[in-house]
Amino acid sequence: MPTFAFRQYHPRPLEIIDTTLREGQQSSLLHDHHKYFFTTQDKEEITRALILYGVKFIELFAPNVSAQEAADWQAIKAVRDELILQKGYTFLLAHVRCHPADVEAAIQAGADGLNMYIGTSEISRSYNHGQGLDEIARRARSLIEDVRRNHPHLVLRFSGEDAFRTREADLFRVYDQLADCVDRFGTPDTVGVATPATVNHRVHALRERYPHVALEGHFHDDRGFSLINALEAVRCGMQYVQTTLLGIGERSGITSMTALLFNLFIDREYDKLEGYHLRGSYPINVMMADKLRKLVPSKEPVSLTNRTHSAGVHQKAVINSSTTYEAHPLDQFGVTESEVLLGPLSGWNIVHYFLREICGFTLDEVTAKAIAADFKQRVYRLAPGDSPASMLIAIAEKEYGLKPIHVPEQFRNAVEQNMTDSATSSSEIRAVPHASGVILRSKR
Ligand code: HCA
Ligand code: CU
């Protein structure tokens, strides 16, 4: 028996249901990177990070998927239990087919809730399981009534898989039979066909028809709409949204947790952010990327790439004021650095800045312009793995005879510089050299 029942919990305005360890494990990225699965240790670390971040609902596979999944349930539960005193209770939900074997295995493993699903669209009914709508409703109801009777503490969700290709009348026909015995209805966009307009319509229709049942969303990214659809659903009053770290999942994946929370922040939906440790967003993305053996993807809003500047025009402006090309308060999501990359697109301003402020050379603008012209030509011939910064320094020293000012040993690792920057109220930025350019670290 769990030590804490869902009935004692007051759900927040937005509850993330993280499914990195279920939907996320279906990501082909694991195969692309020759990893194939998360190790038990990976799962423990992901669970710990999610709980510390403030996530209260974590979805896992039904334990009968494999012996390994069953063993991992216990390891994950141990991490959850360890953190109860510090962070309160986190609910572990099992993703189960509407099938007694899955339900039984989940209950045996100690699940706090069941996320039941069965296809309701015509395609899904024809090619997945062959049951008609009334049969789906009858079987689900009998299973759910059984669970309710014998395990009243469990939190129960029912989802019509492929809900956005299920006619509204068909979905209602099934959901009408279950509305009095579930806690939530899911409405998964299984193949990513939804648009903000269809999400708006569907959420309003479900809210109106089932005012006492909470709604949960799960949006796939086949059209690149998983983020905007989740945002729209939340705006329309959906309280539970399934997300994964970095948005990984089957095919193009689903909504990224930090992308959703970041956008709610920008839209000033502050009540929806209750209890989430937003400054932990970039660190949790880095942890996840590391598990996948890749970098935080550039399409993830909470990424360092979103603070990296390559074009000369941008670099010059960013040195003067970062707000010119940095519109959003990403520092509040843990991205406290900006990168300015030295390369073929760099202008003389950044070359001057780098050589003078970072490397300690004394040089005038005319020399900086000449060095920049040489550098820009030669950098095209840089061998893979060689650093543009080293090439630039070599040109300055060998061909222009520049010498850096002597920095005593104890200060070598701390080249500090103050710059005026309207984006940072403290106006203090630390610039450090980096193999491919400059990293600006704001001290906040
Ligand atoms: C799956 C399908 C699913 C289920 C979502 C849900 C989907 O991979 O099992 O049960 O809410 O996208 O429909 O992920
Ligand atoms: Cu899915």
pLDDT tens digit string along 134-170? Answer: 999 999 999 999 999 999 999 999 999 999 999 999 9
Residue 28: partners with Cβ closer than 8 Å, 6 or more residues away: 251
Q: What is the DSSP string of 14-33?
A: SEEEE-TTTGGGG-THHHHT
| Cα 89 from Cα 80, distance rounded (Å) | 8
How many CB atoms lie under 10 A from the CB of residue 326? 18
Domain match, 127 and 49 both: yes
Instruction: Assign residue 136 the CATH number of its domain.
Output: 3.20.20.70
Residue 298 lies in a domain: no
How many CB atoms lie under 10 A from the CB of residue 408? 6
**124-136 residue pLDDT tens:** 888 888 889 999 9
Domain count, the chain: 2
Tokens coding 44: 């423990």
Residue 168: partners with Cβ closer than 8 Å, 6 or more residues away: 202, 205
| Cα 107 from Cα 121, distance rounded (Å) | 28
- Are 165 and 127 in contact, with CB atoms under 8 Å apart? no
Pocket of ligand 1 (CB under 6 A): 23, 26, 95, 115, 117, 159, 161, 186, 188, 190, 218, 220, 250
Residue 195 lies in a domain: yes
**Of 54-58, 270-274, 303-307, where does mean pLDDT reach its minimum?**
303-307
Active site residue 314: yes
Domain match, 89 and 213 both: yes
Domain boundary among 257, 291, 325: 291
The verdict on pTM exceeding 0.85 is yes
Which ligand 1 atom minimizes the distance to the CA of 242?
A: 11
> How far away, in angstroms, is 186 Cα from ligand 1 center?
9
pLDDT for 311 = 86
| Cα 302 from Cα 92, distance rounded (Å) | 26
Tokens coding 146: 């059984």
Segment 290-303 shows an average pLDDT of 94
Q: How confident is the model at residue 419 (pLDDT cuts 50, 70, 90)?
A: very low
Residue 41 lies in a domain: yes
pLDDT for 40 = 98
> How far away, in angstroms, is 190 Cα from ligand 1 center?
6
Domain match, 280 and 406 both: no
Domain boundary among 231, 264, 291: 291
| Cα 302 from Cα 296, distance rounded (Å) | 9
Best mutation site among 161, 166, 184, 243 for ligand 1 pocket (most ligand atoms within 8 Å of CB): 161
Q: How confident is the model at residue 316 (pLDDT cuts 50, 70, 90)?
A: confident
Domain match, 133 and 197 both: yes
Domain match, 14 and 42 both: yes
Domain match, 124 and 58 both: yes
Buried b (16+ CB within 10 A) or exposed e, 370-394: bbbebbbeebeeeeeeeebbebbbe
Q: How confident is the model at residue 404 (pLDDT cuts 50, 70, 90)?
A: confident
**211-226 residue pLDDT tens:** 999 999 999 999 999 9
Residue 423 pLDDT more than 50?
A: no
Domain match, 125 and 174 both: yes
Domain boundary among 291, 319, 335: 291
**359-368 residue pLDDT tens:** 889 999 999 9
Best mutation site among 117, 191, 248 for ligand 1 pocket (most ligand atoms within 8 Å of CB): 117
Domain match, 39 and 64 both: yes
* Ligand index nearest the alpha carbon of residue 249: 2
Q: Ligand 1 atom 10: the closest Cα is on which residue?
A: 117
Residue 426 pLDDT more than 70?
A: no
Residue 157 lies in a domain: yes
Domain match, 279 and 322 both: no
Residue 346 pLDDT more than 70?
A: yes
Residue holding tokens 């269809």? 198
- H or E element at residue 442: strand 437-442
The amino acid sitting at 360 is G
C-alpha distances in Å from residue 159, one per residue of 67, 74, 216, 376: 26, 26, 9, 57
Determine which one of 314, 328, 406, 434 is catalytic: 314
Segment 13-33 shows an average pLDDT of 96
pLDDT for 438 = 63
Q: Ligand 1 atom 8: the closest Cα is on which residue?
A: 23
Domain match, 370 and 411 both: yes
Q: Ligand 1 atom 5: the closest Cα is on which residue?
A: 188
Residue 155 lies in a domain: yes
Residue holding tokens 């920008």? 266
Sheet arrangement for strand 429-434: 308-309, 337-341, 437-442, 429-434
Residue 53: partners with Cβ closer than 8 Å, 6 or more residues away: 276, 277, 280, 281, 284
> How far away, in angstroms, is 41 Cα from ligand 1 center?
25
Residue 115 lies in a domain: yes
Which ligand 1 atom minimizes the distance to the CA of 216?
A: 11
Three-state secondary structure call for residue 325: coil
Residue 344 lies in a domain: yes
Tokens coding 159: 């989802």
Residue 237 lies in a domain: yes
Residue 84: partners with Cβ closer than 8 Å, 6 or more residues away: 3, 4, 90
Residue 407 pLDDT more than 80?
A: no
Domain match, 256 and 127 both: yes
- Residue 255 sits at φ, ψ, to 5 deg, of -65, 135
C-alpha distances in Å from residue 271, one per residue of 91, 188, 233, 239, 371: 21, 24, 15, 12, 53
pLDDT for 333 = 97
Residue 443 pLDDT more than 50?
A: no
Three-state secondary structure call for residue 148: helix
- Are 263 and 271 in contact, with CB atoms under 8 Å apart? no
Best mutation site among 95, 129, 164, 166 for ligand 1 pocket (most ligand atoms within 8 Å of CB): 95
Q: Ligand 1 atom 11: the closest Cα is on which residue?
A: 188
Which ligand 1 atom minimizes the distance to the CA of 116?
A: 10
Three-state secondary structure call for residue 242: strand
Buried b (16+ CB within 10 A) or exposed e, 63-84: bbbeeebbebbeebbebbeebe
319, 321, 323, 324: CA torsion to nearest 10? -70
| Cα 230 from Cα 249, distance rounded (Å) | 15
Domain match, 339 and 260 both: no
The domain in which residue 367 lies consists of 305-443
